[in-house]
Structure 1
Amino acid sequence: MTASRGAVLHTLCILVLMSQLGSCTEVAPSGVPSSTADYTDPWSDNSETVDYSDFVQQCQKEDVRSFRRTFLPAVYTLVCLLGLLGNGLVVLTYLYYKRLRTMTDVYLLNLALADLLFLLTLPFWAVSVVRQWLFGRAMCKAVHGLYRLSFISGMLLLMCISIDRYFSIVRAASAHRLRSRAVYCSKLVSVGVWLFSAVFSVPELIYSDEQTVEDTVRCRMNQDNTTFIYTTSLQLSFGFLLPLLVMTFCYCVVVRTLLLARNFEKNKAIKVIIAVVLVFLLFQLPYNSVLLIDTIADVNATVTDCALSKRMTMALDISKSLAYVRCCLNPFLYAFIGVKFRNDLLKLLKELGCVSSEKLLKLATMRPTASGVRTTVVTDTDSTTTYSP
């Protein structure tokens, strides 16, 4: 009797275990597969194929890096060589002749110095793109800080030049009365621009550092979202919007004044002003627009498509390179068009043996005027020109 009871209990236990195992293989009422359906035996030859379509994959940008290694060093080298030549001649001419008689002269000298400092950072970036950052942590911070210092000071000095031209042409009487103090004031303003730009570059010194990405050392900014938004907003405000608004106002009033003036050079002056504004917009607007879009996308993490991310990176590189070209054009737009400056430059080139005496005499004493008659240029005022920017 006891044996039969034991056999019955044994049979019942087996039935209970079989029912429990059967319930584990059923599908839940909600339609969610049971645990055995999701499990794949690693030792089984009949394992199911895992679908990775829903997994987030890293965006591979090897084609973008290949483009940067080819495009950026070529542009940086060309900009650096041309910019060093043009701005170097401006600095050399002003320092050799000690010709700082007007506010424009002071601003042009400081603008050339700012452009030269900016151009000196380009070789470091070119080498970094081709290989990696090879210059250490201290140079990483120094190059970042120097880049920001020169970039912001250059943009603010362009704004100061437009203000100076506004007072020289629109407020000519007041400017003439204050002429004795103008150069001193311009030197104080230039010092203020450099100090403000130095303060503006402090975040670059703090947050720039070496980072290892895929076994490659890079010099980058290491910021959180709040700091990133703050620094980018300052750059867009003081490095583009403020100079653009001031330049637009000043040059619009200057053009209106020139249209009412009776001077044969007014058409040339208006063309120069239009060229200055157009060059500023052409070379600065694309970069700042792309920078704003890229900043918004990074903060909000709205760009999730790999192809779109690649296009954004390439657009930022191309527009930034375009903005750098402005350093090459500044000497031609602001310094070389001045008659007195051209004469000083030609004399300097003669003393250096680059221009013969006959060529110098031909270039310095003869030029076509609006009436087709050739006249001398030594009768111009001490300023760059009265009407020509």
Structure 2
Amino acid sequence: MPKERFDLLSLQEAMDILGVSRATIDRWRKDKKLPHIKIGKEIWIDKNKLQAWVHLHSRTQAEDQEARKYESAASSSAQVITVGYQSGAALLWSTLVIKSLGTFDEELRISSPSTEYKVRWLNAPNGMELVEQLIGGNVQIASVGDYPIIASRALSHILSRFNPLFLAFDGKTRNGGGISLVVPSRSAINRPEELSGVAIATVGNSSASYRLREWSEAFGITSEPVEHRTMGECLNGIMAEEVGASVLWEPYLSWIQSIGAGIPVLSEGIGGDYLTGLMADGNWAQGNEDVVIAYLKAHLRAHDFIRNEPARAAKIISDASGFPVAIVAGVLSQIRWDASLYNRDLQTLNRLSEVQSDRLPARSESRHGEGFALGKHYLQNAAEALKLPGLPDTPLPGEWSREILY
């Protein structure tokens, strides 16, 4: 039968697998973008796409339980440190390794054995939400992409009490690798130029939306409207074929290709590297240097673990994030795990800041021209404590080195 050849489930078969009623599955099709295909009056569901959709939505309950656990801990006498992270952003997966292996807790015990700390972890859907938490004092250390990094810098020019501090880089990919425009697999679109007039979904105010703007200018794409969604909703939009294209970052990019639901039409950026890093509240960091250095030691250890034990790292990240281990392993190998500061990285951030200056809050005259606030000495102290080769006071020159990795 045709449905067997295409590995399709009838609506009743899908209801039986999920154990839900017709009313529930109809609501999920409408509200949660459950992928489906309508042929005449019949509704079919692709088995592989259903599995991916279930993985995507099954993590919510566990995360809610974890949040309640840490809320109760906050009422104790321990000093609470909140670390913001994004399990859905592959270039920031080092945080999942730190959390799963308990290396930050371990380094805190080493640095301050007489102080009781409680580490709280906040999983956010995007980096700008973590920037808001930094501004509000609810998060002390956050893992974010390059757009939130430069947005923090811009916001500090109009929020006098906000003092964002850049601590270290995290995952890096060359020339924008790791973010791509993706169209549904049955789309007739083959080139970026053909996307004009097509609805494109992206995460608003993110590294993805910044790349979309660059691509649009480079290829003359005029897309109205651009739909701002979560990354999961961008993925679902392609799977359900309800948008013409979505900007996906890893691991969503590899995942949608693995199930045959989407095809990248643009795999590289327009000249700029894709960078991520650690931000902290600078005012808090000044009074908590031991804590900052302890986290950076855990950060450097996570990078070393991912580089030298990729199979174990992939299993840990898969368990923590819900993404298939094969997808995680493939993505990890494409990322440069390197905390160190290169001139090329700072130039990329400054270029991004200049390009986005008309989209972000204007600088006040008193702080005009300031560069990024860099906590270089924290990273240097962390490297020294781990007996790693010393980092210089100035950014590293030249291209990324295969030997100099932190």
Higher strand share: 2
Higher helix share: 1
Q: Shorter-chain TM-score: which interval?
A: under 0.3
TM-score (norm 1): 0.26
TM-score (norm 2): 0.26
- The structure with more radius of gyration: 1
